[in-house]
Structure 1
Amino acid sequence: MSVVFFLFVIAATFLVVSLVGPYRLYWRARPRAAGQPSDAALAVGRVAAFGFAGVFLFGACSVLDGVDMDGVDKESWSAGEVREAAEKVPSALSDEPRLPGSSADGYASLIEAEFMRAGEGQGPSYAVSVERVGGAHDYEVSAGGADSSVCLHVTETKSADGGVFVPGANGDSSNSLARYDLTTTVDDGPC
């Protein structure tokens, strides 16, 4: 917050300089022979001071926009925000049957997308990391700036709705891929 205050003070200083024009008073006190600048040059100086005031005001407002009124930085995640967003992921994953995840990634990319949707506006998306831990469906979710991570345990159950039919090479559709209903639990700490 001190940076915001400092930027506002600089903006106010340039605004005062442009409105009052102390440099104009300085030149009026000097004799004519001292090479006094023209009125056009003084006007350009005032416009430049207004411009600098605007730039510093814009900078202060930009920095202020990145900070909550509680002083919490929106450019990073807090442990509570990570937990809150992670608790919304299970309902999003269980809303419809899913095809099985890839062997390497599992459901990590799906979890990351749902986590970002649930935590929109909480912190930057580039700071979110979802990693599969071990061979099971355990996923460690962490976000930059947060002091803790959470562990999502995903359980697959074959869906009662059936699978997705895949046509074979000869045109019949007797092959199908199983779909799974996903249930997820969230635990604090790493997996």
Structure 2
Amino acid sequence: MPLGTNTLNFDDEVQRLREKREELLDRVAALDPDNPEAARLEQRGQNIDDYLAGLRWARDEAYEDPDVSVWDADADAVTLCGLTGGEYAGVEDDVRSAALEREQASASGTSRVYMVAHGTVDAPYHDEDYSDAELLAATQQLPYQFLKWAEMHINRMTTVGGQEGNQSFSAAVAERRREMSTDEPN
């Protein structure tokens, strides 16, 4: 049983991300280029560019894309879900097993595919009758930018408690450094 589901309309997401991108442009442009915050915000903007590319593909091109046969219906939305602790652990185990099968030290690159495969409830590339292997094979065909966008939403729904209103640790460290640099010596 997933933590929760969310149906995400492609047009609504494109609009939301365009607005977020504009806000980031203003924030970054106002910062000194040497400010570490500028680099962090620029990376967020580049992620948004990837998400937008993936969404535009899903909305405008996916159904007719000859390279992605698993997207077998025209769609204007997908339904994604958060993973429970057990589901997330299963994804971690699957990723670890995939690395061992390939005799690799890590399979971190495949974790996105596993997250999206297991975090999709309803989408043209998803069939509830698929075996795990078929589901993974179908999800692997999707463009990186779409997978990146879907994974971001799945991660948000998987994360519980304490996220709203709390700073990330790295943001708290940056703030503490600013405070320390403005403190007068004793």
TM range (shorter): under 0.3
Structure number with the higher helix fraction is 2
- TM-score scaled to structure 1, two decimals? 0.25
| Structure ranking higher on relative contact order (CA contacts 8 Å, 6+ apart) | 2
Q: TM-score, normalised by structure 2?
A: 0.25
The structure whose Rg is larger is 1
